[in-house]
């Protein structure tokens, strides 16, 4: 039985290519010549073809389209124009060939994709024979080296080690996810690390407002669009993430929650890879919901999902920080949220999970709030060592009013001291003391 091929190539040699694919003994057969990407996707979803030979010059050829084809069980041979090859390598096709490649090479690629499709195989791992992204990996290394020179004054050509990703998540009820994310990133920057805070909350992101960037366009959406088109690189990400404090950049989120469709996981997955090239630490402020229900209808089957940005960040994270509020209802929600994370396999293997309880105060947790919170988490969630952040409403209000971080307006705040200790622990630095905190206030790192 021959494997069906969907062919959509806007080139003069399409007829010869179809004839070669249909030749006896190839094991594949062109079942439909398609006019556009939408027709290819619809036929793939209907199960008409398992292999797609696609020309990159067609409108709509991006990571989202290829992800939909893969989701339908199809494998893609992408024929790239010479000037478009670098972009095509970033789109996630099983094979990327030049548009004028010999038809025999295209047939062989289609046969390999047919074997993958029939076996339910996945893309080869990086470095395996046939991996189409080796050139992209080399390009990313070059971009990382040049960006390292741009950010840290390193000699051109030197390699910058890949950074780490921290996802800050918490259940519904405003436990302080944004407060923790912004101030943790600021404290990492204060340690001399290059830090980036990203707003990926599709329900009510406010990182830009918290840092006084009221008129900023959503940088994360622009980065996701570039990633979906295969044009995102480290230099573009630097341009989209302005410096707000020494060593601290910000990638702002959606200005309106109804624009959540712009943060599709197909683009964000590549954004998370790229942020590691420009920052030692990337701290992502996630939304609260972990639901992945696609709903119903054709749009739900093809389009992005509202919580896809959160799930994408959590899956990519090296460290997942679960944030809860130090009050009875907040702790109950945190305990249930930790169970939900475990059911989803979060954090991923090899990643760490830290539990942080915010706004610890006697008025909500009793006369010994730290002891009460710790005992509750040990008993109900088997968490013996939560990070406790004391409540300091006046300092937090002042930071919000001035559009900055705790370390800039209230360096001696108990909440700030707790965030400083958390940053030091993450970075593998000695725990700060009162003298080092005071000394650090007097030293400012130059802007890069």
d(CA 152, CA 147): 8
The answer to whether 325 and 173 are in contact (CB under 8 A) is yes
196 torsion bin: left (phi>0), alpha (psi -120 to 50), beta (else): beta
Rounded to 5, what percent of the chain is helix, strand, coil?
A: 45, 15, 35
d(CA 286, CA 442): 33
Q: Identify the structural domains of the chain with CATH numbers, from first to last.
A: 3-132 (3.40.50.2300), 163-442 (3.40.50.300)
Q: What is the pLDDT of residue 295?
A: 54
Here the tokens at position 247 are: 């060593």
Largest CA distance in the chain: 82
DSSP string, 199-232: EE-TTT--HHHHTT-TT---HHHHHHHHHHTT--
The answer to whether 37 and 9 are in contact (CB under 8 A) is no
Helix (H) or strand (E) holding 222, with range, is helix 219-228
Q: What is the pLDDT of residue 387?
A: 97
Q: What is the DSSP letter of 84?
A: G
Residue with tokens 């009510």: 204
Q: Which residues pair with 52 in a beta bridge?
A: 6, 76
Closest CA to 407 of 208, 178, 207, 183: 183
* Cα→Cα distances 291→12, 103, 212, 311, 331, Å: 47, 45, 31, 9, 20
Which residues of the chain fall below pLDDT 50? 123-158, 435, 438-448
> Would you call 348 helix, strand, or coil by DSSP?
coil
* Cα→Cα distances 307→262, 282, 368, Å: 12, 20, 37
Where b means 16+ CB within 10 Å and e means fewer, 313-350 reads bbbbbbbbbbbbbbbeebbebbbebbeebeeeebbeee
Here the tokens at position 442 are: 């007097």
Provide the whole-model pTM: 0.77
Radius of gyration of the chain (CA): 25
Q: What is the pLDDT of residue 12?
A: 81
């Amino acid at each position: 039985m021959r494997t069906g091929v969907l062919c959509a190539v806007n080139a003069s040699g399409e007829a010869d290519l179809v004839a070669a694919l249909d030749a006896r003994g190839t094991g594949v057969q062109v079942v439909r010549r398609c006019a556009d990407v939408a027709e290819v996707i619809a036929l793939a979803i209907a199960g008409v073809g398992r292999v797609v030979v696609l020309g990159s010059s067609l409108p709509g050829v991006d990571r989202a389209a290829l992800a939909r084809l893969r989701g339908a069980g199809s494998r893609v041979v992408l024929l790239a124009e010479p000037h478009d090859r670098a972009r095509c390598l970033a789109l996630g096709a099983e094979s990327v060939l030049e548009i004028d490649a010999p038809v025999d090479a295209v047939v062989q690629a289609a046969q390999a994709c047919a074997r993958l499709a029939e076996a339910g195989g996945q893309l080869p791992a990086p470095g395996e024979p046939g991996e189409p992204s080796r050139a992209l990996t080399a390009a990313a290394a070059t971009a990382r080296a040049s960006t390292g020179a741009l950010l840290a004054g390193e000699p051109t050509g030197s390699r910058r080690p890949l950074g780490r990703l921290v996802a800050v998540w918490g259940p519904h009820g405003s436990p302080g996810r944004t407060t923790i994310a912004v101030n943790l990133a600021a404290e990492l920057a204060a340690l001399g690390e290059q830090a980036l805070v990203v707003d990926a909350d599709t329900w009510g992101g406010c990182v830009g407002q918290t840092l006084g960037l009221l008129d900023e366009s959503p940088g994360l959406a622009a980065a996701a669009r570039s990633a979906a088109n295969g044009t995102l690189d480290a230099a573009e990400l630097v341009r989209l993430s302005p410096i707000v404090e020494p060593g601290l950049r910000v990638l702002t989120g959606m200005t309106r929650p109804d624009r959540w469709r712009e943060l599709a996981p197909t683009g964000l997955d590549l954004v998370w890879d790229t942020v590691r090239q420009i920052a030692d630490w990337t701290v992502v402020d996630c939304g609260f919901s972990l639901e992945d229900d696609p709903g119903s209808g054709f749009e739900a089957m093809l389009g992005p999902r509202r919580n896809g940005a959160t799930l994408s960040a959590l899956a990519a994270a090296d460290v997942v920080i679960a944030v809860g509020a130090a009050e009875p209802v907040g702790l109950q929600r945190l305990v249930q949220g930790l169970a939900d994370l475990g059911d989803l396999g979060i954090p991923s293997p090899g990643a760490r999970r830290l539990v942080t309880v915010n706004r610890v105060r006697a008025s909500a947790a009793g006369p010994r709030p730290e002891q009460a919170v710790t005992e509750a988490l040990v008993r109900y969630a088997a968490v013996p060592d939560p990070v406790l952040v004391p409540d300091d409403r006046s300092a937090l209000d002042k930071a919000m009013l001035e559009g900055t971080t705790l370390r800039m307006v209230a360096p001696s705040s108990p909440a700030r001291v707790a965030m400083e200790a958390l940053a030091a622990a993450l970075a593998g630095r000695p725990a700060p003391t009162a003298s080092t905190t005071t000394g650090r206030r007097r030293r400012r790192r130059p802007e890069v």
